[in-house]
Structure 1
Amino acid sequence: MRDEVTGLSFFDPPVAGDAAFYAAIARRHGYHRPDKAEFRIAADYIPSGARVLEVGAGIGHFVGHLRDVDYLGLEFNADAVAAAAVLNIRVIQRDVCDIMRERPESFDVTCAFQVLEHVSAPRAMIEAMIALTRPGGLIILATPNAESYVSRSRDLLNVPPHHLTWWEDRTWRWIAGTFGLVDLHLHHTPIDEMLGAWAQLVASEGIARQLGFELDPVVDESPLRERVDALAAPLACTLLAGLTRRTDCPAIGHTTVAVFTKPAAASNGAERANP
């Protein structure tokens, strides 16, 4: 489903993965990558000495991009918390709403990377992060970009119980207005890290259309899709080899990073009527 007011796409019912699901999926190679483009983008906004809270921190890779900060990560995957402890990174197994009640307006920056799309109550998570941020502080959120090739990936990882929502730029602007946040900056990660996935998708869609059918618009991991992908693989390689100019590639990649500022004289934006 897609909400026409916010631009948010969502699945109903919002069946989220449990702790066992994420413990299993976290063992996939590359699931917790240490050098994500969104980490580098967000780090440019965070000065030395800042008090930083990361929600859904995994094993705390983001702190490696920061300089002399007071960092706390929240994570419900016990294996990730244990792995962070081995690396001497401060990650605890707590819920953001509990921390909100204990430490309101305690952080200069609250952030979450690739988390909102996994939770069944994203609004409550955003409200908690705003409440934890000091007036004048930053809220940084990153999700897959539903206006990029990602919404056509037809991958089981882009639907429940993994991804419950799809986020557009329009949704971030709605959030800023609804919660009274200011100075919104939107960044799109470059396509570079996922150029092969984009080329494969374009080639597979082309092969399917030449064969007279369309791939499922949401999720398609059928044997037919596998055969189409196999046929398209050489074409995808040819497409990549033919890219000679930056303008040949999509302008936006996998992820959008939204950076908000909580006004110094903050009003309770959560109580305002939705626009």
Structure 2
Amino acid sequence: MTQCILCHSQSTAILQTIKQDDINALYERAFGLDVSHIITSNLLYHHCKICDLRFFTCEDGTIPTGDNHFYNTLNTLEWYYFAKKHEYDYVQKYINPESKVLEVGCGKAAFAHFLPPEAKKHYIGLELSTGAKEMASKDGICIENISVEEYAKSHAKGFDIACSFQVLEHVSNPYGFLQAQIECLKDSQLNGGGAYNKPLLIIAVPSENSFIQYCVNGILNMPPHHVSRFSDTTLHKIADIFNLQLLDLYHENVQNEHIDFYQSTMWAKLFLSTPLVDRGITRKIINKIGKVGKHFIKIPPNAYGHTVVAVYTPK
């Protein structure tokens, strides 16, 4: 039995096995990426019965995360780093001009442009991708190529807000990743800081309660890109694991850039089951018909969009 990479429980179960050849072939077809040096065996898809986290491992138990070459290749795709994400607008209300903000996995630091001018001066971004650092420097923003675990050793209690957007699902050790961010937060904020005058941990992740849970062959939601999946239950459990108070849990609506994704996914769900990977001929036929059929899929006004934002403060 594999230990959960978030809550460290031994109460886990394997939900699915993905063939090594299938995942490698899907990445090669979609992006021309050879990931065979990372995906070195079949993938096991685990579920933790305690915190509800879903996560991937290779057969030997290792976590198959992307390397610098993998992300630098994705960085060249025009759409990979959005200059604006819906969650950026939403979390602005938590940031005051005096806030000292640490963003972990900041990409090209697009979020820095959404901060008040004074807060932007104190912004620190951490990012492992050297290509992203070069892109950020073109906008006059200096970020550091260092892990938050290393950074926390010399910058404990230094920030009003620690945040990450679409990053937690990429890391092999989410427990250590979150713990290091919490260590970077100030003990208390008597003046300024977040909207609640408390130190805040803000995370945005793809929502396993949204339509993306039904996506088949969605390789960017699988290794070596994403290695874990977060439900609302998991986000609530994070508060228990780290002795935090959950202040807010916000689901975005289906955004314009995801309408086609939503309709295509829910169209196929009408006719087929939803394993993680299916390269069969029947699915290919359904997807081809879906180029027309998806337009008959209506999006309910209360449908959860791709992303969920969770806001915490230490107790």
Q: TM-score if structure 1 supplies the norm length?
A: 0.87
Q: Secondary structure at the match of 1:134?
A: coil
Between the aligned partners of 1:189 and 1:129, the Cα distance in structure 2 is 24
Q: Is the 8 A contact 2:127 2:146 kept in 1?
A: yes
Q: How far apart are residue 109 of structure 1 and its match?
A: 0.3
Higher RCO (C-alpha under 8 Å, 6+ residues apart): 1
Does 1:62 pair with 2:111?
yes
Instruction: Name segments (4+ residues, structure 1) moved above 2 Å.
Output: 219-227, 248-251
Q: Which runs of 5+ in 2 are unaligned?
A: 1-45, 188-197
Between the aligned partners of 1:172 and 1:239, the Cα distance in structure 2 is 30
Does 1:105 pair with 2:167?
no
Between the aligned partners of 1:171 and 1:146, the Cα distance in structure 2 is 10
Q: Cα–Cα, structure 1 residues 5 and 104, in superposed 2: closer, same or farther, change >3 Å? A: same
Q: Which runs of 5+ in 1 are unaligned?
A: 264-275
Structure 1 residue aligned with 2:312: 260
Q: Cα–Cα, structure 1 residues 222 and 65, in superposed 2: closer, same or farther, change >3 Å? A: farther
Structure 1 residue aligned with 2:239: 176
Q: Cα–Cα, structure 1 residues 256 and 221, in superposed 2: closer, same or farther, change >3 Å? A: farther
Q: Cα–Cα, structure 1 residues 222 and 86, in superposed 2: closer, same or farther, change >3 Å? A: farther
Structure 1 residue aligned with 2:52: 7
Structure 2 residue aligned with 1:201: 265
The one-letter amino acid paired with 1:25 is L
Structure 2 residue aligned with 1:162: 225
Q: Secondary structure at the match of 1:2?
A: strand
Between the aligned partners of 1:23 and 1:146, the Cα distance in structure 2 is 26
Percent of residue pairs bearing the same amino acid type: 29
Between the aligned partners of 1:183 and 1:117, the Cα distance in structure 2 is 19
Q: Cα–Cα, structure 1 residues 52 and 99, in superposed 2: closer, same or farther, change >3 Å? A: same
Match of 1:230 among 265, 288, 293: 288
Q: Cα–Cα, structure 1 residues 198 and 107, in superposed 2: closer, same or farther, change >3 Å? A: same
Structure 2 residue aligned with 1:33: 82
Between the aligned partners of 1:261 and 1:148, the Cα distance in structure 2 is 25
The one-letter amino acid paired with 2:296 is T
Q: Deviations over 1:132-157 (max 9, x none)?
A: 01123000011100111111112111
Q: Secondary structure at the match of 1:6?
A: coil
Q: Deviations over 1:40-82 (max 9, x none)?
A: 1122211112100000000000011111211010011111101
The one-letter amino acid paired with 1:173 is H
Structure 2 residue aligned with 1:192: 255
Q: Cα–Cα, structure 1 residues 250 and 217, in superposed 2: closer, same or farther, change >3 Å? A: farther
Q: Is the 8 A contact 2:214 2:269 kept in 1?
A: no
What's the C-alpha RMSD, in Å, of the aligned pairs? Answer: 1.6
Between the aligned partners of 1:145 and 1:127, the Cα distance in structure 2 is 21
Between the aligned partners of 2:309 and 2:279, the Cα distance in structure 1 is 29
Q: TM-score if structure 2 supplies the norm length?
A: 0.76
> Greater helix percent: which structure?
1
Q: Secondary structure at the match of 2:205?
A: strand
Q: Deviations over 1:146-188 (max 9, x none)?
A: 1111111121111111110000111111111121112431011
Q: How far apart are residue 12 of structure 1 and its match?
A: 1.9
The one-letter amino acid paired with 2:108 is I
Structure 1 residue aligned with 2:203: 141
Q: Deviations over 1:5-58 (max 9, x none)?
A: 101111123211111011111212211001111111122211112100000000
Q: Secondary structure at the match of 1:123?
A: helix
Structure 1 residue aligned with 2:4: none
Between the aligned partners of 2:172 and 2:95, the Cα distance in structure 1 is 28
Q: How far apart are residue 195 of structure 1 and its match?
A: 2.2
Does 1:79 pair with 2:131?
yes
Q: How far apart are residue 224 of structure 1 and its match?
A: 4.3
